[in-house]
Amino acid sequence: MTSDSRSVQSQSQKTNLKLETWNSKLETHNLKLFPTHITLNNRPTRVDELIAGRENATGWERDWLDFLAEWYDARDYIEVKTSGSTGEPKNILLKKDFVAASALRTIRFFNLKAGDRVLHCLPARYIAGKLMIVRALIGQLDLHLVDPATDFEVLQSGLHFKFAAMVINQVSKILEFGIWNLKFDRRNLDFLLLGGSAIPVSLEEKLQQVQTTCYSSYAMTETATHIALRQLNGPGKDGWYHGLDGISVKLNENGCVRIEMPGLENGFLQTNDLGELKDERTFRILGRADNRIISGGLKFSPEELEGKLESAIDLPFYISSKPDERLGARLVLVVEGTESAGLISQLRESCNERLSRYEQPGEIIFTPALPRTGNGKIKRLPPDQL
């Protein structure tokens, strides 16, 4: 046995012993944080052999194997990087039992059973991709890994998947190129979880033609992915997020969502997301407080204005502001594209049709490429920083 194998086996034994007193839910479901095998493409594979051979892997395959090694190392935490969509990316530490609890909530919500085939197509560098691996480990799921840049031909292979998680760009690509011909259904995939950014209205409308049950996630790195889900299509379609087991939300004095869940420092996490509550587990997001623009004494949520415009503007864009002596700040529309008289006219017409008098952007700014984070989210830089 190699030193890597002995290390993995020793860590597995120590951690499985710890599990006996850690979480009664795990005991009830007969789950383990550190099983000796992981099932890949319906084939049980020794974890220690995968870890020992990761030096020969490259690219996205090396990323997921590196995380596997991190999950089985002697530390009781993993190190993850935030997306950077609301500030500079930073490294944070998450306890492994906290991460496992998140994985278990997803397993229970979607009723995933040992042997269920799940599709993993997310980068393992980010928390969403890491959680797919943890779910497969503790749920004894059949993990089918593909390159995050896949063309998704796997969904035409005749295989049936119980669950998959994707980002907006991946789902848009599937629909745009007709991989499912707008008919992907339970013959291909039972449940699809969308995350990474807000769901565009145009995409949500297309998903109404899809039989696969689709969910939007309210998630962040600090909570080890989603704490609440919203069904996007089908009979259970809903405009509200619903907190998962053991999670509740409140609003602070500024109307921002406060997440209360086991495992967080002090038991809660205060966000800058403006919210509306129906009850302590049912809410919706109105935008971010740090994005809010005050113009002429009126408060505007860029996300709300973008929602009104997104079905009419095909190019990537966002609402921002510039300093203004009279108004304090004036609204501006930032668009990825090449300026032309025809395009300006078209954009002005769209704004006039969908926005009120006071919501109209005072200026349209064009840029060859909008700044984005590593996982594709648009970064809302002020216009003078473009």
Q: pTM score, two decimals?
A: 0.81
Domains of the chain: 3-245 (3.40.50.12780), 292-385 (3.30.300.30)
Place of tokens 């949520």: 301
Please say if the pLDDT value at position 112 is more than 90: yes
Q: pLDDT at position 85, please?
A: 56
Place of tokens 């984005």: 372
Q: In whole angstroms, what is the distance from residue 135 CA to residue 253 CA?
A: 36
CB atoms within 10 A of CB 243: 22
Please say if the pLDDT value at position 181 is more than 80: no
Q: Which of 167, 170, 373, 198 is nearest to 302 (CA)?
A: 198
Q: pLDDT at position 87, please?
A: 58
Per-residue pLDDT tens for 300-355? 999 999 999 998 999 999 999 999 888 999 999 999 999 999 999 999 999 999 99
Per-residue pLDDT tens for 136-163? 999 999 999 999 988 888 887 888 999 9
Mean pLDDT of the region 181-191: 68
Q: pLDDT at position 165, please?
A: 96
